[in-house]
């Protein structure tokens, strides 16, 4: 981790605080100034840990730029990706508000910038601004709903359904490139497998099958969705 030298701190803070999708957008001008004065901005290179499982949370972490995977290590050190984050999303907040150690790790999958707010300041703002408390509750509730749906997907769907679901999830999270077909995130086959609760060999084989069926095309780590309707059908049928 290094302090960001590509964007000014004020620019980064402004993007996080004033973004229409940020929970901080409901703060008063005075509260925003206090927040801006106490935010810590950090730059993480691709593959660098933002936090590790078992560590104590240092504050509320907001992803200002980049892409992050959140995962747990299972038997034999195998990863299970439980969530993918994009700007202006929060990471590590469950452990923070539960006042527990992190139960998962977060790694930058591309160069990323985070903004961290101390727990004490967040608590003060929550106490003084009910709208902020409501926004955080909504965010936690949305995440809980997503986790419940993913549990069903990973335990009840077959391999084809799980992989199709993961591709649609990546599309919905990160969107498309300018061609409106290529998913705008480039994961390794191992990461795709860890996101879909399958072995790497099964992920490679299923991706190749999808490609041969004309559902997707593959160019290295780039995945282009050719038949959105059929991919959605495969996901729903499981």
Q: How far is CA 43 from CA 4, 29, 114, 178, in A?
A: 5, 27, 7, 26
Spatial distance between the Cα atoms of 115 and 9, rounded to a whole number of angstroms? 10
- The helix-helix angle for 29-38 and 9-18 (nearest 10°) equals 140
pLDDT (tens digit per residue) in 23-60: 899 999 999 999 999 999 999 999 999 999 999 999 99
pLDDT (tens digit per residue) in 144-165: 888 888 888 788 889 999 999 9
Tell me the CATH number for domain 2-142: 2.60.120.10
pLDDT of residue 1: 54
Most confidently modeled range among 67-76, 137-146, 153-162, 181-190:
181-190
Q: What is the band of 229 on the pLDDT scale with cuts at 50, 70, 90? A: very high
- The helix-helix angle for 119-128 and 29-38 (nearest 10°) equals 180
Q: What is the band of 179 on the pLDDT scale with cuts at 50, 70, 90? A: very high
Query: Which residues of the chain does CATH 2.60.120.10 include?
Result: 2-142
Q: Check whether 5 has a pLDDT greater than 70.
A: no
pLDDT of residue 2: 46
Size of the chain, expressed as the number of residues it contains: 238
Looking at the whole model, is its pTM more than 0.85? Answer: yes
Q: What is the band of 64 on the pLDDT scale with cuts at 50, 70, 90? A: very high
pLDDT (tens digit per residue) in 21-30: 888 999 999 9
User: pLDDT: is 67 or 12 the higher one?
Assistant: 67
Q: Are 74 and 80 in contact (CB under 8 A)?
A: yes
Q: Using alpha carbons only, how large is the chain's radius of gyration in Å? A: 19
Closest CA to 238 of 171, 149, 178: 149
Q: Write the class of the CATH domain 156-237.
A: mainly alpha
Question: CA angle at residue 125 from 120 to 127, to 5 degrees?
Answer: 95
Averaged pLDDT, 95-113: 96
Closest CA to 168 of 234, 72, 88, 69: 234
Query: Which residues of the chain does CATH 1.10.10.10 include?
Result: 156-237
The whole-chain average pLDDT of the chain stands at 91
Q: Check whether 177 has a pLDDT greater than 60.
A: yes
């Amino acid at each position: 981790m290094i302090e960001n030298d590509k964007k000014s701190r004020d620019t980064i803070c402004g993007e996080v605080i004033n973004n229409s999708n940020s929970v901080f957008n409901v703060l008063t001008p005075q509260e925003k100034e206090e927040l801006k004065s106490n935010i810590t901005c950090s730059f993480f290179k691709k593959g660098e840990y933002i936090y590790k499982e078992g560590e104590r949370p240092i504050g509320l972490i907001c992803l200002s730029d980049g892409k992050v995977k959140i995962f747990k290590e299972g038997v034999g050190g195998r990863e299970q990706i439980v969530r993918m984050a994009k700007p202006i999303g929060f990471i590590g907040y469950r452990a923070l508000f539960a006042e527990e150690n992190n139960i998962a790790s977060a790694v930058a999958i591309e160069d990323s910038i985070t903004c961290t707010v101390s727990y004490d300041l967040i608590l003060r703002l929550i106490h003084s601004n009910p709208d902020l408390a409501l926004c955080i509750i909504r965010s936690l509730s949305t995440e809980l709903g997503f986790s419940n749906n993913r549990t069903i997907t990973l335990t009840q769907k077959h391999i084809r359904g799980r992989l199709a679901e993961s591709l649609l999830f990546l599309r919905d999270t990160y969107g498309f490139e300018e061609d409106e077909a290529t998913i705008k995130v480039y994961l390794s086959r191992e990461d795709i497998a860890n996101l879909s609760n399958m072995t790497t060999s099964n992920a490679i084989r299923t991706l190749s099958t999808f490609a041969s069926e004309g559902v997707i095309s593959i160019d290295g780590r780039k995945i282009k969705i050719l038949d959105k309707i059929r991919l959605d059908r495969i996901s729903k049928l499981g």
